[in-house]
């Protein structure tokens, strides 16, 4: 939809617009109103260049998109019928909980095994463990490839699928060679399009689920969904969106909690949403509140940093990891809430706006 600067386009201006849209297989129709005329674009309007050309015209005020910029992630895409499983569960049917250390300490494998055991007992579905870490300071611990063996050993010992974050192609190849069950793309790489494409390509056959965190500086929600479109369009449709807080932070929290975007995501895309309350609020004492808020907003699951003895941990764990006993309590409360909230989700579909019991 083209909104002109003046009440209507001159004949000459209209001809210029017509010529641009026709190059992209579209047509344009004036819709006269009382005070101004707007111009509807007909046809597939998902052409970035067409929009750029129209927006660059001096007599055009604004161009609004009716269609979303992502074809595959769109709720109306055929992929909305693509149901994949995480730890044997279909997202949306059962609550999915991922928990574990922010960072695995390669010098202390037993600490991770103790946590892994307690986390499995607490009822988590997937075990997380950071092998390579994106740290703000280059002087902080950066991770160690050796830790991947600890993660895989924990999976074998406690019979629980595992997830880890990769930051580049080399790490991705190591993680895939170790047969991790799920890959995390962190907030800092959420807009690393080369990496997103590579992940789509290299997981094309295995189709292991990819958890894409929301970038901390990301703007519109469409930017987040479009980042996932890179993975999907390069071969792996099994993506999960993960809000994890944005900046600027609320004073006292690590980030600006953004679990409230879930209903908006659910209206635009079919992708499951697993929220990370740990990085959002950044302090263990606030995590249970943020976790339950995320479920109240309709998340399909949670990813929570959890540690048996957080004070002995490295990375984020000493400040934001919860104890497995707290995790067990959160899972119990989150499950009740999860099934209660489902009835409101019908309201996402306009014709079912009345909430039924
Ligand atoms: C993490 O999960 O430990 C992490 C670094 O997350 P984020 O990318 O959200 O900061
Ligand atoms: Mn962390």
**Per-residue confidence of the chain (357 residues) as pLDDT tens digits?**
999 999 999 999 999 999 999 999 999 999 999 999 999 999 988 889 999 999 999 999 999 988 888 999 999 999 999 899 999 999 999 999 999 999 999 999 999 999 999 999 999 999 999 999 999 999 999 999 999 999 999 999 999 999 999 999 999 999 999 999 999 999 999 999 999 999 999 999 999 999 999 999 998 999 999 999 999 999 999 999 999 999 999 999 999 999 999 999 999 999 999 999 999 999 999 999 999 999 999 999 999 999 999 999 999 999 999 999 999 999 999 999 999 998 887 655 554 444 444
User: In which residue ranges of the chain is CATH 3.20.20.70 found?
Assistant: 78-351
Query: How many Å lie between the centroid of ligand 1 and the Cα of residue 183?
Result: 12
Answer whether 155 contacts ligand 1 (Cβ < 6 A): no
Query: In the chain, helix, strand, coil percent, each to 5?
Result: 40, 20, 40
Query: How many Å lie between the centroid of ligand 1 and the Cα of residue 94?
Result: 24
Proximal ligand: closest to the CA of 255: 1
Distance between CA atoms of residues 337 and 97, nearest Å: 14
Give 78-351's CATH code, choosing from 3.20.20.70, 3.40.50.10680, 3.90.1300.10, 3.30.1360.20.
3.20.20.70
- Contact 97/67 with Cβ under 8 angstroms? no
Closest ligand 1 atom to the C-alpha of 103?
3
Among 333, 335, 332, 328, which Cα is nearest to 300's? 335
Query: How many Å lie between the centroid of ligand 2 and the Cα of residue 147?
Result: 15
pLDDT of 19: 98
Answer whether 102 contacts ligand 1 (Cβ < 6 A): yes
pLDDT of 357: 41
Classify residue 92 by its DSSP letter: T
Answer whether 104 contacts ligand 1 (Cβ < 6 A): no
Answer whether 213 contacts ligand 1 (Cβ < 6 A): yes
Task: Spell out the CATH class of 2-63.
Answer: alpha beta
The helix (H) or strand (E) run that includes residue 162 is: strand 162-165
Instruction: Provide the Cα torsion 94, 156, 123, 341; round to 10°.
Output: -20
**Which residue is it, tokens 């958890």?**
211
Query: How many Å lie between the centroid of ligand 2 and the Cα of residue 67?
Result: 36
At 138, list the tokens.
């280059």
Closest ligand 1 atom to the C-alpha of 245?
9
Query: What is the phi/psi pair of residue 214, to 5°?
Result: -80, 130
pLDDT of 45: 83
- Contact 210/250 with Cβ under 8 angstroms? no
Closest ligand 1 atom to the C-alpha of 185?
8
pLDDT of 219: 85
SS3 308: coil
Task: Give nearest CA residue, ligand 1 atom 6.
Answer: 186
């Amino acid at each position: 939809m083209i909104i002109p600067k003046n009440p209507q386009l001159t004949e000459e201006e209209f001809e210029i617009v017509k010529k641009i849209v026709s190059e992209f297989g579209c047509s344009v129709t004036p819709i006269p109103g009382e005070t101004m005329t707007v111009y509807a674009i007909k046809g597939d309007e998902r052409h970035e260049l067409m929009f750029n050309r129209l927006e660059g015209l001096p007599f055009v005020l604004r161009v609004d998109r009716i269609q979303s910029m992502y074809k595959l992630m769109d709720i109306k895409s055929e992929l909305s019928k693509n149901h994949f499983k995480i730890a044997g569960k279909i997202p949306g049917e059962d609550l999915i909980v991922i928990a574990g250390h922010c960072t695995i300490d390669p010098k202390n494998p037993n600490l991770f095994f103790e946590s892994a055991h307690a986390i499995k007992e607490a009822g988590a579905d997937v075990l997380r463990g950071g092998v390579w870490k994106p740290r703000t300071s280059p002087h902080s611990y950066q991770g160690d490839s050796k830790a991947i063996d600890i993660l895989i050993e924990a999976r074998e010992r406690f019979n629980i699928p595992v997830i880890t974050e990769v930051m580049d192609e080399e790490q991705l190849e190591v993680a895939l060679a170790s047969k991790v069950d799920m890959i995390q793309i962190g907030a800092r790489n959420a807009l690393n399009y080369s990496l997103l494409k590579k992940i789509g390509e290299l997981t094309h056959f295995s189709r292991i689920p990819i958890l894409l965190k929301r970038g901390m500086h990301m703007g519109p929600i469409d930017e987040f969904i479009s980042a996932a479109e890179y993975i999907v369009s390069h071969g792996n449709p099994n993506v999960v969106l993960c809000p994890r807080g944005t900046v600027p932070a609320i004073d006292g929290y690590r980030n600006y909690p953004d679990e409230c975007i879930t209903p908006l995501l659910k209206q635009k895309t079919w992708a499951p949403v697993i929220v990370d309350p740990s990085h959002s609020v950044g302090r263990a004492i606030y995590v249970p509140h943020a976790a339950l808020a995320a479920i109240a907003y309709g998340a399909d699951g949670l990813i929570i940093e959890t540690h048996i003895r957080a004070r002995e941990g490295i990375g984020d764990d000493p400040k934001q990891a919860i104890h497995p006993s707290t995790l067990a309590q959160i899972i119990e409360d989150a499950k009740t809430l999860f099934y209660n909230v489902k009835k409101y989700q019908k309201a996402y579909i306009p014709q079912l706006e009345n909430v039924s019991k």
